[in-house]
Amino acid sequence: MTTKLFGTKVPRVEDQRFLRGQGRYVDDLLTDDPRLLHAAVLRSPHAHARITDIDVSGVLDLDGVVAVWTFDDLTGPMAEPLPLLIPHPALTHGRTQYALAKDEVNYVGEAIAFVVAVDRYVAEDAVARIRVDYEQLEPVVGIAAARAAARLVHDDVPGNVGARMEQENGDARAAIADAPHTLTLELDVERSACTPMEGRGTVARWDPDTSRLTVWSSTQTSTGVRGCVAAKLGLDLAKVDVITPDVGGGFGVKINHPWPEELLVPLAAMTLGRPVKFTEDRREHFISSAHERAQVHHVEVGFDDDGRVLGLNVEFWHDHGAYTPYGLIVPIITSTQLLGPYKPQNYRVVFESLYTNTVIVTPYRGAGRPQGCFVMERTMDAIAAYLGKDRTEVRSTNFIQPDEFPYEHGLVFQDGRPLTYDSGDYPASLAKLKELVGWDEFEDFRAEMAAQGRRVGIGLACYVEGTGVGPYEGAHVHVETSGKVKVATGLTTQGQGHQTAFAQIVADTLGVRFEDVEITTGDTRKMPYAVGTFASRAAVMSGSAIHLAALRAREKALRIAAEALEAAEDDLEIVDGVVSVKGTDASIDLGTVAVLSNPLRYAFDEASKAATQFSVGDPGKAPVAEDDEPGLEGKDFYSPERSTFANGMHAVIVETDPDTAEITILKYAVVHDCGHLINPMIVEGQIHGGVAQGVGGALYERMAYDESGQLLNASFMDFLMPYVTEVPTTIDIDHLETPSPLNPLGIKGAGEAGVIPSAAVFAAAIEDAEGFPITAMPISPSELFDLRLAHADNSFAG
Amino acid sequence: MKPAPFAFLRPATLEEALAALAGEPGAKVLAGGQSLVPLLSMRLAAPSMLIDINALPDLGHVTPDATGVRVGALARHAHVLASAEAAEVQPLLALALSHVAHPTIRNRGTTVGSLVHADAAAEMPMVLRLLEGSVDVESVRGRRTVPAGELFAGPLESTLAHDEIAVEAFFPALPAGAGVAFQEIARRHGDYALVGVAALVETDGGEVTRARLGYVSVSDVPVVVDVTDALDDPAAAALAELEPADDIHATAAYRAHLVKVLTPRVLADAVHHARQRSAQKDEKDMA
């Protein structure tokens, strides 16, 4: 019997290629094609302005410029606004931009004109020559300005409110009114962004001989892009292929589609009859892709003497930027996932999703959960502080207990399904975390540090993450006559190690060698039905689909092999690609089974000779039986009833410098439960990356917009993504494996976990070190210094 | 993020480079390129010509002697930092250089280039000024020496004429009985400092006879403050001459606070260093 690969730390087979610089990203494609053209985009320098004239006359006579488009050059569906991808009844005033601005621009960075030239240098020279006359309008920047609504982003959206949504389970306000204790909190989270190493990018080639369009895009959904391109360019879907090459990170921003360039590049390629490439640069990524996270929250909570929450009423305001292509996903997730592992007896949540003259907001790793976690965990800490109780005790009091699953919250989740947790063991997770971080020994450590004049604090934060959101993913498993196994699944890969993790599943399920399995993702030619990679769903959705498809291939292999070996299927096993009768020498290679599965008319090699219709099968029967298909293949789809809910808890010990207010991480501990682990090394890698991104979001990164709507830090010089020197050198991780009952492998998603509790856990630890409330994140040393001054003044006044 | 068109010249001799620079008012000199190339790519600078001096001979030297350390225009930060002899002659060089950006940038960026870029947030212009060093510049009109005190005209602006190329910097040696120290606070390792402070003190018999402090990121140009007569509250004396400002990373008040925190620490470090060196010298003399 071969060793089971599922659950083992198989090294990522991708890394050899990536680490040696042999990845092939969009910008690497077609570089040897002398006909390749390059695009650059004129972007709005103003946050809010009317366009009164665009003069491109100085452009086309520039040597090397091939074409230029403005809105007036667009026709048909291309002249309509971009799609609103996820409509929602509460999104009463959804607005999307045009591929190229029509009459008005609503954020710095909005696309106005599209230039195609022989290289990107010339294209940028041309962009600089386009003259646009603007009539400047007053911009709306920040949530306060959006709420005040003294000015409107869109004239036809009153109050700048795109959506208002309310959900309630029980009667939260009445429960709070009746509660023995109540607290009110105001909690802010600022904007950040995904900032993948590779920005956006698209290449398109139109083949006039076959009337076929091929688009390569750095996307998290090739099927989504394909649908949009076909619809917008008026092409039959069958004429469009979208392929996702290696993608240098996504973290959410590449799930939004179609970007203007994702349509303009194919349009230009078709119009010009030459391949066209757009590679986004870093400044463009900052000002014309997407951001997330900015929300302001007002919390009222009522609780009893034990800290048990009796009623929770949360109102929040979500800054969604200038347009709403991705609907209300982020605030809906905040409003539902805020609850974490707790069961407030009565819960009401209301949010307004607001327009501002800033870059659009779409999900960024965590997608509204970091804000929700911040709100809930800050509330738990406030209750503990008020009652003078240990923070872990208050949490324990409010946990959903292991025997309460499935647990229904009485709310509707982002997928339109009831918010129902499938499994988890929160008390066990908390016990592990306390042990891992040394919670009970911390006061000794604090005293020891204090004796040296050092100031330390500890915090913890718990979260539950809905993962593996539907509607479905599919997989196709094909055993070739060589015995090699080719697997296709439609969702895309941005570095998660899908080749490794999915091949582990196939190797185990089908009984083949790991090395013989090749996984293709994100290629609509191989798998035209797919959704995409987001919401920590790839392992759950495609992993399950691949498992099911491999089972089908296995069933077929056993059926054919049983016939060939004249044995009962139950007596067969498949190990390392060989089917054998258990306990005997009788065996047949899977490749040979594949030969037998496909009766041929023509012989072209040794294997095919063995498969001609004259050498296989019963001459009295049809070569392919009525209910059968040729080939050793399996295809299946996985479509769960609802999401599966992973959970975790983080704790951090920080040191705050009494003099400089610098914040140093001394220890970071994670307990993580994503059900069965396919590959613990990959899961831990995801946690490490998430924690690193979370450190950025909590202590370093912010989008520094000024009041005129200019983004002041649109570069990696001033947008402080943490370096390796700012990230904890070790992250202590412990796993709990509470399987999901919703899928055959018992797995849950893990991709976003590491980032969700960061703002909450750092706020808690800094608060614990400093002794005054931390209510806004991120926090810099300069801000901590200001808070110290403010609280010192208060104490004098008091 | 592609530069606007420019002519490119890589001269083989200094004479050729100086002639080209004199003949092209829109030309810029390219050495390490760590500041200039990003400016070109973002089209914040659009010179008509780049004169790449990387092929010029005899400019890559780091030459320490008893008087100080001479650093050629093509000596990379990493080269200067790696020179144990240079660190021996003037320890402040290595102390400060280890805070200049990251190793990959130091491998390419030049110390002299950083000086004439005249960024008040950069370490080396302040160091040159604190040490009262100088820069030798050449042009078709000849060679001259510019004392550090006359090098910095304003934010990112040196007093060099357009046709001049800085060919060598001179960092004076640390005299006997003197000590130096450097500390800075940055948001991330390798970032420009929020505040950086260097100290140069001279002692006689353990007593401080002269104390000067240099500051990074709290003024438009590198500022050096003589605190010899203000040793009871050197930070207050320094703040009287500094102009801390708000930016997106820190408030002016926080920067002023850091000046107050760092100044006494750095001064004490430098005094300690001076006394240590004196003690070592005494030991050596006795031996």
Give the bridge partners for A409, in sequence order: none
Verify that A437 and A410 share a domain, yes or no.
yes
Residue A149: Cβ within 10 Å count: 16
**Segment A767-777 mean pLDDT:** 97
Last residue within a domain, chosen from A592, A607, A638: A638
Most A-contacting residue of B39, B192, B258 (CB-CB within 10 A), to test interface: B258
Name the residue facing A283 among B1, B251, B253 (closest C-beta).
Answer: B1
Q: How many helices (H) and strands (E) does chain B have?
A: 10, 14
Residue in A with minimal Cα distance to B3? A121
pLDDT tens sequence across A519-578:
999 999 999 999 999 989 999 999 999 999 999 999 999 999 999 999 999 999 999 999
Chain B residues inside the 8 Å CB shell of A124: 1-2, 4, 43
Alpha helices (H) along A388-491? 391-398, 426-437, 442-451
What is the extent of the structural domain holding B97? 62-172
Chain B interface includes A662 (CB < 8 A): yes
Most B-contacting residue of A716, A782, A787, A789 (CB-CB within 10 A), to test interface: A782
Verify that B36 and B68 share a domain, yes or no.
no
pLDDT tens sequence across A149-188:
999 999 999 999 999 999 999 999 999 999 999 999 999 9
Q: How far is A158 from chain B (nearest CA, A)?
A: 32
What is the extent of the structural domain holding A43? 15-137+194-288
| pLDDT reading at A133 higher than 50 | yes
Pair of tokens at residue A151: 């000015």
pLDDT one digit per residue (tens) for chain B, 287 residues: 899 999 999 999 999 999 999 999 999 999 999 999 999 999 999 999 999 999 999 999 999 999 999 999 999 999 999 999 999 999 999 999 999 999 999 999 999 999 999 999 999 999 999 999 999 999 999 999 999 999 999 999 999 999 999 999 999 999 999 999 999 999 999 999 999 999 999 999 889 999 999 999 999 999 999 999 999 999 999 999 999 999 999 999 999 999 999 999 999 999 999 999 988 888 888 87
- Domain assignment present for residue A264? The answer is yes
Residue in B with minimal Cα distance to A782? B250
Chain B interface includes A659 (CB < 8 A): yes
- Domain assignment present for residue A330? The answer is no
- Domain assignment present for residue B2? The answer is no
Chain B residues inside the 8 Å CB shell of A722: 188
Per-residue pLDDT band at A796 (split at 50, 70, 90): very low
C-alpha separations of A120 from A37, A248, A276, A328, B22 in Å? 8, 21, 11, 36, 32
Last residue within a domain, chosen from A288, A303, A329: A288
Q: How far is B254 from chain A (nearest CA, A)?
A: 6
Total count of domains within chain A: 3
**What CATH number corresponds to the domain at position B226?**
3.30.390.50
- Domain assignment present for residue B216? The answer is yes
Most A-contacting residue of B254, B259, B261, B266 (CB-CB within 10 A), to test interface: B254
**What CATH number corresponds to the domain at position B26?**
3.30.43.10
Verify that B205 and B280 share a domain, yes or no.
yes
- Domain assignment present for residue B79? The answer is yes
Task: Tell me the C-alpha distance between A467 and A424, whole Å.
Answer: 13
Chain B interface includes A728 (CB < 8 A): no
The SS3 call for residue B182 is strand
Task: Tell me the C-alpha distance between B162 and B49, whole Å.
Answer: 13
- Domain assignment present for residue A297? The answer is no
Chain B positions touching chain A (beta carbons under 8 Å): 1-5, 38, 42-43, 102, 185, 187-191, 194, 248-251, 253-254, 257-258, 261
Per-residue pLDDT band at A3 (split at 50, 70, 90): low
Per-residue pLDDT band at A611 (split at 50, 70, 90): confident
Name the residue facing A720 among B2, B42, B188 (closest C-beta).
Answer: B188
Chain B interface includes A664 (CB < 8 A): no
Verify that A98 and A222 share a domain, yes or no.
yes
Verify that A506 and A462 share a domain, yes or no.
no
| Chain-chain contact of A720 with B253 (C-beta, under 8 angstroms) | no
- Domain assignment present for residue B252? The answer is yes
| Chain-chain contact of B248 with A704 (C-beta, under 8 angstroms) | yes
Residue A136: Cβ within 10 Å count: 11
Verify that B147 and B219 share a domain, yes or no.
no
Q: How far is CA A100 from the centre of its chain?
A: 27
Verify that A494 and A609 share a domain, yes or no.
yes
**Segment A335-343 mean pLDDT:** 96
**What CATH number corresponds to the domain at position A408?**
3.30.365.10
Total count of domains within chain B: 3
| Chain-chain contact of A786 with B2 (C-beta, under 8 angstroms) | no
Verify that A429 and A565 share a domain, yes or no.
no
Chain B residues inside the 8 Å CB shell of A664: none
Verify that A632 and A713 share a domain, yes or no.
no
Return the pLDDT at A797.
41
- Domain assignment present for residue A274? The answer is yes
Per-residue pLDDT band at A795 (split at 50, 70, 90): low
Last residue within a domain, chosen from B119, B142, B172: B172
Locate the DSSP E strands across A564-643.
572-575, 578-581, 587-589, 632-638
pLDDT tens sequence across B136-160:
999 999 999 999 999 999 999 999 9
Verify that A609 and A662 share a domain, yes or no.
no
Last residue within a domain, chosen from A252, A268, A288: A288
Verify that B202 and B239 share a domain, yes or no.
yes
- Domain assignment present for residue A217? The answer is yes
Task: Tell me the C-alpha distance between A674 and A671, whole Å.
Answer: 10
Chain B residues inside the 8 Å CB shell of A283: 1, 42
Per-residue pLDDT band at A74 (split at 50, 70, 90): very high
Cβ contacts below 8 Å, chain A against chain B, sum to 66
Residue in B with minimal Cα distance to A285? B1
| Chain-chain contact of A281 with B1 (C-beta, under 8 angstroms) | yes
Chain A residues inside the 8 Å CB shell of B195: none
Residue in A with minimal Cα distance to B35? A717
Question: What interface predicted TM-score (ipTM) does this complex get?
Answer: 0.95
Could you give the strand order of the β-sheet that contains A578-581, starting from the edge strand earlier in sequence?
Answer: A572-575, A578-581, A587-589
Verify that B276 and B198 share a domain, yes or no.
yes
Verify that A593 and A684 share a domain, yes or no.
no
Residue in A with minimal Cα distance to B42? A283
Last residue within a domain, chosen from B138, B172, B206: B172
- Domain assignment present for residue A348? The answer is no
Least confident of A83-97, A370-384, A782-796: A782-796
- Domain assignment present for residue A321? The answer is no
- Domain assignment present for residue B1? The answer is no
Q: Is the Cβ–Cβ distance between B88 and B68 less than 8 Å? A: no
Given CA atoms B90, B92, B95, B98 in this order, what sign does their dihedral have?
negative
Phi, psi of A104 (to 5 degrees): -145, 145
Name the residue facing A659 among B42, B43, B261 (closest C-beta).
Answer: B261
Residue A42: Cβ within 10 Å count: 25
Buried/exposed code over B24-52 (b: 16+ C-beta within 10 A; e: otherwise) = beebbbbbbbbbbeebbbbeebebebbbb
Q: Among residues of chain A, what percentage have pLDDT more than 70?
A: 99
Alpha helices (H) along A457-518? 498-506
Verify that A475 and A624 share a domain, yes or no.
yes
| Chain-chain contact of A662 with B261 (C-beta, under 8 angstroms) | no
Last residue within a domain, chosen from B114, B146, B172: B172
C-alpha separations of A161 from A7, A154, B268 in Å? 47, 10, 58
Chain B interface includes A712 (CB < 8 A): yes
- Domain assignment present for residue A687? The answer is yes
Chain B interface includes A780 (CB < 8 A): yes
pLDDT tens sequence across A394-433:
999 999 999 999 999 999 888 888 999 999 999 999 999 9
Task: Tell me the C-alpha distance between B30 and B113, whole Å.
Answer: 9
Name the residue facing A782 among B189, B249, B261 (closest C-beta).
Answer: B249
**Amino acid identity of A469?**
V
Chain B residues inside the 8 Å CB shell of A717: 38
| Residues A396/A398/A400/A403 CA torsion (nearest 10 deg) | 70
| Chain-chain contact of B250 with A781 (C-beta, under 8 angstroms) | yes
**What CATH number corresponds to the domain at position A100?**
3.90.1170.50
| Chain-chain contact of B254 with A713 (C-beta, under 8 angstroms) | no
Q: Which helix (H) or strand (E) holds B115?
A: helix B111-117
Verify that A752 and A620 share a domain, yes or no.
no
**What CATH number corresponds to the domain at position B136?**
3.30.465.10
Task: Tell me the C-alpha distance between A673 and A681, whole Å.
Answer: 14
Per-residue pLDDT band at A604 (split at 50, 70, 90): confident
Verify that A633 and A488 share a domain, yes or no.
yes
Task: Tell me the C-alpha distance between A767 and B103, whole Å.
Answer: 35
Residue in A with minimal Cα distance to B186? A662
| Chain-chain contact of A785 with B257 (C-beta, under 8 angstroms) | yes
Verify that B127 and B183 share a domain, yes or no.
no
CA atoms within a 13 Å half-sphere pointing along the CA-CB vector of A574? 27
Verify that B72 and B130 share a domain, yes or no.
yes
Chain A residues inside the 8 Å CB shell of B261: 659-660
Verify that A42 and A133 share a domain, yes or no.
yes
Most A-contacting residue of B185, B248, B251 (CB-CB within 10 A), to test interface: B248
Task: Tell me the C-alpha distance between A516 and A710, whole Å.
Answer: 52
Chain A residues inside the 8 Å CB shell of B250: 780-782
Locate the DSSP E strands across A502-628.
517-521, 572-575, 578-581, 587-589
Q: How far is B15 from chain A (nearest CA, A)?
A: 32
